[in-house]
A and B are shown apart, each in its own frame.
Chain A
Amino acid sequence: MGYKLSKYLYEDEKEGYVFLYNTYKVDMLKIKKPLFEAIKENLSDIKENPENPVIAKLIEKRYLVEDSVNEDREGDLMYLKTCHSNKQLLLTILPTEGCNFRCEYCYEEHKQNKMSEETQEALIKFVRKNLKYYGGLSVSWFGGEPLLYPEIIEHLSEEFKKICKNFKKPYTAIMTTNGYLLDYDMFCRMKKCNVTNYQITIDGPAEVHDKQRFLAGGQPTYDKIISNLTDIKEKEKSKFYTFSLRTNLTVQSAKAYPKLAQFLKDNFFVDGRFTPRVRIAWNGTNDADYEKNIISDISSIFGEGSSLEQTQENLQKSMYGITDENALRKNFNEIMFAHYPCYAAKANSFIFGPDGRLFKCTVHFDDSKDGVAGYLKPDGHLEVNDTIDAKWITQMTAKDKGKCYDCKAYPLCQGVGCPYKMSVRGRRDDECEAKVAEIISTFRVFSSNEKICADVEEMLA
């Protein structure tokens, strides 16, 4: 029969070992170089159920695949399972586009609107009509700032919970909030709405955060957010309420990041419910040059290295070197998860604006050409524009997709990643290169940890 190395492996050499980074299984291991070379030389002689335990392990973890396997088709299947699944009905709901903050880099228009009762009822009817086709309901509260209207969240959650109960399906929710209104009382109200995960942004120590993220009247917000989170951390004992603390890197916040990181580590990341998330602040364009420039500015703060790959590695080292061992695996999975197709690429994902408009992407709301994919009618019927929907929930053109078959990132990105960049606007080679560089550097950074990247022979010991 014979075996071959999976095409979805990156090979890296360090200290007498070959490190194998597996994008299909999102896994990695290391293997002594002479042993790896010997295995490689005899791949065609490997039989089914081999006795050699190292080889058996490599097959089990899909580092080796049978010669006859067509991995392109398996990658395609992965795309279908991820983006055309009916496991969950995924709703992102914007009770308002208004916000009490005016962040320096924000792309939203801050329309002071609020979801009407009529739209709320239409949404409830939509869920009632459609939940039977799915395995459960997951809601993501988004905005604007969703906590400006907690009563809308409470009303909709109560109705969703009733519908889920009738259909015998699970209901879960998450929320993206600026955290200013999330005091302990509000957190308890949201607990009753099944909100179990929050994404909250902290851009730096007070002096940096307050310059980037201030109230509509210009007042600071850092102290209030930290005091809210501290209160919740101390009063809430359940392990199931989690917080992703996000930092948007600008040159200013990157300079102050080590100080923030130390503070967050000492006060929050020691508690496994809090995890870091670091992203380049978006500048309102989808400009790869902007990202490259900011990365190179930031790299001068974090360390030497001029290539994009080296810079990203330095950056990630300083970001993720801050958490304890237990949080590492979670962080690794979270970073890798960010490369999977965005919800905008999923046929089971619907984003509803306060007026019942259907969006696919939470960034390009108001892109008049492709942003609005449909409308929710008062009777709960969703009128979808298939021409627009198709741009988001199908893969790119055959010509570009051909390149994905040669790309080792395909099992992660699945040729969609950010469908706005890859499909709606059009794929760019330089952005794909940057993505691949980021994936490799993430593997590399975490590979120094034995818990995540073990020696294959020691795994068997």
Chain B
Amino acid sequence: MRDRLFTIMEDNGVEYEDNVLVTEIDSIQYMSLMVEIEEEFEIEFPDMFLGENIFENFDRLCEIVFGLVGEVA
């Protein structure tokens, strides 16, 4: 699952160094990432994550996404 998520980030031109985001994400990338992650993992991000920069740290992103996948499962 972690690899799938990493591939989505990479395919959208987003890079991490030691888990920390090094790309400045613009609004188009943000939109593209959010819908692709929702589609790939069959989840919906609740409001509480919309204000937060959930991409800042890759471990934290995994935690959020897998948490939501767990809720769905």
Contact = CB atoms under 8 A, between A and B. Distances in A.
Interface of A: 87-88, 135-136, 138, 164-165, 168-172, 191-192, 194, 196, 237-240
Contacts of B33: 170
B29 A240 contact: no
B59 interface: no
A232 to B, nearest CB: 14
Contacts of B12: 168-170
Contacts of A168: 10-13
A239 B30 CA distance: 13
B22 interface: no
Contacts of A135: 13, 26, 28
A1 B38 CA distance: 52
Given A169-B12, A239-B44, A136 B38 contact: no
Contacts of A237: 44
A191 B39 contact: yes
B50 interface: yes
A164 B38 CA distance: 19
Nearest to A194: B35
Interface string B1-18: 000000000111100000
A196 B28 contact: no
A191 B39 CA distance: 9
Nearest to A136: B28
Chain A at the B interface: SS class: loop
Interface residues of B, number: 18
B13 A196 contact: no
Contacts of B44: 237-239
Q: Which 8 A-B pairs have the closest CB atoms?
A: A170-B32, A168-B13, A170-B29, A170-B12, A237-B44, A165-B11, A238-B44, A240-B35
Contacts of B32: 136, 170-172, 194
A87 B26 contact: yes
A310 B47 CA distance: 38
B20 interface: no
Contact of A172 (B10, B13, B28, B45): B28
B21 interface: no
A154 to B, nearest CB: 15
B47 A170 contact: no
B64 interface: no
A203 B28 CA distance: 30
B50 A172 contact: no
Contacts of B45: 238-239
